[in-house]
Copies of this chain bind each other. A is one copy, B any other.
Amino acid sequence: MAVDGTAGRVTRRRLRTRANLLEAAFTVFAGKGFGHVSIEEVCEAAGYTRGAFYSNFTGLDELFFALYTERAELIAEQVSGAFALDGPDLDVTAAVDRVTDVLLLDHDWLLVKTDFLVHAARDPEVARGLLEHRARLRRTIADRLARSHDHTALPAVLGGAEGAAHAVVAAYDGVTVQLLLDRDVARARAWLKQLLTALLTG
């Protein structure tokens, strides 16, 4: 059995191996891409055999999903946190600075993230989940932006805070692509900051 809500015993060892498998999988996925990775490779990297794998997951898909959601949740919290540090009124410029500073722009993570994107783009079920995740993130950002002390600062073309939040995500996605190719993190941060200021204080 792989995933059972009914935990017979608490099993301490199991959690360790599961975590080890996930961490090893991240490295392997980042290196070769989800599509080109075999179960054996993951096990070898983690120092286990397939027995351990099949005892914890039903297949690569399940592991991949678990891996992604785990890390994505973490990052979403980071972004929310960067926006949340303000008082009741939001200073857009300061928020932009904080976000671009704190945002995790790790090449390996971007690789896995994009792998997951194409995976989701082919599976409506997975796409649904990912869309909801993105919608929640946008909602958070929109809420913060709505508290801006100068509402007219947001360009009207975008259509309010909702549109602005959408634009923020789009900018992030756009920067991601370039960063995936040139691997220049510093430039990406600067560029993201430019884009965001152009979009939010236009």
Contacts and interface: CB of A to CB of B under 8 A. Distances in A.
Interface of A: 31-36, 107, 110-111, 114-115, 117-122, 127, 130-131, 134, 155, 157-159, 163, 166-167, 169-178, 180-182, 191, 194-195, 197-199, 201-202
B122 A114 contact: no
Nearest to A158: B198
Copies in the complex: 2
Contacts of A110: 121
A107 B31 CA distance: 26
A34 to B, nearest CB: 6
Nearest to A196: B157
A194 to B, nearest CB: 6
Contact of A131 (B130, B181, B198): B181
Identify whether the interface residues of A are mostly helix, strand, loop, or mixed.
helix
Given A32-B122, A117-B181, A158-B194, 12 more contacts: A117-B177, A118-B118, A121-B180, A127-B181, A131-B182, A134-B178, A134-B181, A157-B197, A169-B178, A170-B171, A170-B175, A202-B202
26 contacts: A31-B122, A33-B122, A111-B118, A111-B122, A114-B114, A114-B118, A115-B118, A117-B177, A117-B180, A117-B181, A120-B180, A130-B181, A157-B194, A157-B197, A159-B194, A166-B191, A167-B198, A170-B191, A170-B195, A173-B173, A173-B174, A173-B177, A195-B199, A198-B199, A199-B202, A202-B202
Contacts of A157: 194, 197-198, 201
